[in-house]
Amino acid sequence: MTRRLLLLLSLTCAMAVGNIYFPQAITPLLATGLGVSPDATALVVTATQIGYTAGIVLLVPLGDRIPHRRFLVTLLVLTGLALLAAGCAPALTPLVAAGAAVGLTTVAAQVVGPLAVGLVAPDRQGAVIGALLSGSTGGMLLARTFSGTLGEWLGWRAPYLVAAALTLLLSAVLALTVPAAPPAAPRQSYPALLAEPLRLLRTEPELRRSCLYQATVFAGFSAVWTCLAFLLSGPAYELGARAVGALALVGAATMLCTPFAGRLVDRRGPDPVNLICLLGVLAAAAVLAVGARGGTTGLAALTLGTLLLDVAMQSGMVANQARVYALRPDARNRLNTAYMTCAYLGGSAGSWLGVRAWGRTGWAGVCALVALLATVALIRHLLAPRRRARRPGSDRLGSGNSADVTASAR
């Protein structure tokens, strides 16, 4: 793993994640260009997100059966072709189908993680995960700006066509630069690969623990960002959607924090980082609650609170993935499938719960929900040493550095 290769893999994560989010910024342009209602164009975004979830479940486990380089390049080529089809779609229905195909195949970021971790020593895995998450965050934040600006200049097709060209170019570069490596489970059948994530959830307590941490924190994160628009457009602020977008740019700071969190995981292990992050979520909930006051004080509290929540969520993900990847080096893609599926289910549940908390008790209820979810994860975290002590041979798992974790798992 050279710096150049790590940068290239981080760029791959940014491109893959950006392909999910950039259609969100051009839905008004889609409505005008295709002559349909704005509500109908939302189907494109929904289809892309549903396809992405399906790709995590159906395609990511194949990373343990197919050589990483071939699998990664194939995914990018298919994504590029799907983006090209979307950019040339003559009507809404073909565009929705192409969007679903884009989401299904643009899971390269979930394949890059296991690939990159396998190319470095155990005491560098946290730093690598942090760098890749930094790339994913950058892709998520910049994609909307990229597509919105380009779409206003050249029309809604331009973002799709440019993304297609860049994705296909990236696939060619990766075909020449990613080192070849044999697959971890070349003889596993496809049905067995699909069933493995559920079996791993049953048999790996540390996987369940990491999934609980990320699902609860991501649920709180989703609840906040789902209801933030209600707060900012309400009587306390009377601001528009642009204010939410400007506030989201604060999350760019996580691009700097996740590499630092990764190096801390390498030195101290994932558990101390998880503890700091869970306490950070609790602190974020308290700060965000002040945002209900409105005015300059409230807006400052919302800015600081969302920043703290973003940093805690992303840094916690670095620790969780380091713990998960150390469990079974021969099943990292299947472990990642289980982990990411639980995380996205948690996020969906958080959005649903957040809207209901807002309807009952307003912004205070949303902040209380975030605190409650973080407390559930924190209680489980504080009980972790006692539970590990009851399992013979697992007393070191999650408590030392990455090298210790890997040795213990083996």
The tens digit of pLDDT for each residue in 116-139 reads 888 888 888 888 999 998 888 888
Which of the residue ranges 147-156, 252-261, 389-398 would you say has the lowest mean pLDDT?
389-398
Quick one: pLDDT at residue 161?
95
**Per-residue model confidence (pLDDT) at position 301:** 94
**Tokens of residue 139, six digits:** 């892709």
Model confidence band, residue 148 (pLDDT cutoffs 50, 70, 90): confident
Question: What local confidence, expressed as pLDDT, does residue 388 receive?
Answer: 65
Checking if the pLDDT of 404 tops 70, the result is no
At 182-207, the pLDDT tens digits run 777 777 888 988 999 999 999 999 99
Range 354-378 average pLDDT: 94
Predicted pLDDT at 374: 96
Which secondary-structure segment (H or E) carries 14? Answer: helix 3-21
Alpha-carbon gap, residue 290 to 44, rounded angstroms: 36
Confidence tier at 241 by pLDDT (50, 70, 90):
low
Q: Is it the case that residue 93 has pLDDT exceeding 80?
A: yes
What pLDDT does 390 receive? 66
What the chain holds in terms of domains, given with CATH numbers, is 3-187 (1.20.1250.20), 197-409 (1.20.1250.20)
Q: Is the pLDDT of residue 409 over 70?
A: no
Q: Find the mean pLDDT for residues 160-177.
A: 94
What integer pLDDT is reported at residue 112 of this predicted model? 92
Mean pLDDT of the chain, nearest integer? 86
Look at residue 242 in the predicted model and tell me its pLDDT. Answer: 63
- Average pLDDT on 376-400 reads 68
CA distance 310 to 252: 9
Tell how many helices (H) and how many strands (E) occur in the chain. Answer: 17, 0
Q: Check if the beta carbon of residue 10 is closer than 8 Å to that of residue 132.
A: yes
Instruction: Read off the pTM.
Output: 0.82
pLDDT of residue 403: 39
- Residue 173 tokens read as 């570069």
- Name, of 3-17, 42-56, 134-148, the range with top average pLDDT: 3-17
- Classify burial at 393, counting beta carbons within 10 Å of its beta carbon; exposed 0-12, middle 13-18, buried 19 or more: exposed
Q: Evaluate whether 242 touches 334 at the Cβ level (below 8 Å).
A: no
pLDDT band at 396 (very low <50, low <70, confident <90, very high): very low
* pLDDT value for 165: 96
Per residue in 269-280, pLDDT tens? 999 999 999 999
Which among 146-150, 175-179, 248-252 has the top mean pLDDT?
175-179
Geometric angle at alpha carbon 52, from 344 and 193, rounded to 5°: 85
Tens of pLDDT, residues 207-239: 999 999 999 999 999 899 878 878 887 888 877
Helix (H, G, I), strand (E, B) or coil at 202: helix
Q: What is the pLDDT of residues 293-321, one digit of tens each?
A: 888 899 999 999 999 999 999 999 999 99
pLDDT for the residue 125: 87
List all residues 6 or more positions away from 403 whose beta carbon is below 8 Å from its beta carbon: 121, 122, 123
pLDDT digit string, tens, across residues 17-42:
999 888 877 877 888 888 887 777 77
Strand, coil or helix: 169: helix
Band of the pLDDT at 405, cuts 50, 70, 90?
Answer: very low
pLDDT higher than 50, residue 397: no
- Which value, to the nearest 10 degrees, does the dihedral of the CA atoms of residues 53, 56, 58, 62 take? 170
- 4-12 average pLDDT score: 92
46 Cβ contact partners less than 8 Å away, ≥ 6 residues apart: none
C-alpha to C-alpha distance for 329 and 318, rounded to whole angstroms: 17
pLDDT of res. 5: 92
Q: Angle CA(239)–CA(240)–CA(244) in degrees, nearest 5? A: 95
What whole-number distance in Å separates Cα of residue 98 and Cα of residue 77?
A: 14
User: Residue 35: exposed, middle, or buried by beta-carbon count in 10 A (0-12, 13-18, 19+)?
Assistant: exposed
Of the candidates 81, 84, 98, which has an alpha carbon nearest to the alpha carbon of residue 157? 84
Average pLDDT of the residues in 340-356: 89
pLDDT for the residue 339:
94
